[in-house]
Structure 1
Amino acid sequence: MRIEAGTYGRARRISLTSLIDVIFLLLLFFMLTATFSRFGDVELTVGGAGASQPADQTPIFLRLDADGLSLNGETLPVTLLADRLNVLREAGRADVVILSVRDGATSQQLVDLIAAVGASGGPPLQIVR
């Protein structure tokens, strides 16, 4: 049996039109389904250089470290912070909250703490080294 080699003409070029259409549709789909909203904002204010606080203000001292949070030297969970700040504010013993962040504290702990102080509607927060 003899097999003849067929004559194949020029090689056909693959059309890229359908590929470009598919890529355009995928791009359009991902652009329309993507969300560009912020999930949460933490408002921070910048203190002035050399600005001092009035002497009649009563500060609350918070210390954040790897072990947790302490309020005026007393260990406290972050979930109870808003209630404690409200009690101190109503008693007139909370004019400003001073936060000291120690080594080992994570940024998530700091954000949670700032959010808790902000949610309490209490005194302004100052962060020190």
Structure 2
Amino acid sequence: MPRRGFQRRALSLTPLVDVIFLLLLFFMLTSTFSKFGEIDITAAAGGSGESARGAKFLQITEDELRLSGVAVDIDALADSLSDERVFVSLHTDIKAQRMIDVLVVLRSIPNISMTVLR
């Protein structure tokens, strides 16, 4: 009895397309689209130094916060400031999340004016 050669059946892509469609539908329906909170930032501009009188200077680095040269904890930052003008200086190696965390705390303080220095 002679042996016949192996014949391959044609592969149907219909089940694969159905599975991809179901996965796409699943991820579209289960994902959430949230609007990120906006933080109002005023960029520093050139001008006279008179507007800086009575202002505090906040330096943000990856490891610490310094308010007018004194190290301060992020939790105590809101207690250290009130109704003041704050100039915020960002260190070059700071992560975006660190900056946002500090700016959210500053934004929660009523009647504060902050300017981010370049």
TM bin, normalised by shorter chain, reads 0.7 to 0.9
Partner of 1:84: 80
How far residue 122 of structure 1 moved from its aligned partner, in angstroms, is 3.5
2:93 is aligned with 1:97: no
Q: Using the alignment, how far apart are the partners of 2:60 and 2:93 within structure 1? A: 9
Report how many aligned residue pairs link the two structures: 118
2:49 is aligned with 1:60: no
Return the match for 2:27 from 26, 30, 38: 30
CA-based RMSD: 3.0
Judging changes above 3 Å, is the alpha-carbon distance between structure 1 residues 27 and 76 closer, same or farther for their aligned structure 2 residues?
A: same
2:112 is aligned with 1:112: no
**Is there any run of 5+ residues in structure 1 with no aligned partner, and where?**
none
TM-score normalised per structure 2: 0.74
How far residue 81 of structure 1 moved from its aligned partner, in angstroms, is 0.6
Q: Using the alignment, how far apart are the partners of 1:11 and 1:64 within structure 2? A: 66
Judging changes above 3 Å, is the alpha-carbon distance between structure 1 residues 56 and 15 closer, same or farther for their aligned structure 2 residues?
A: closer
TM-score normalised per structure 1: 0.69
CA contact (8 A) 1:100 1:128 kept: yes
Q: Which has the higher contact order (CA 8 A, sep 6+)?
A: 2
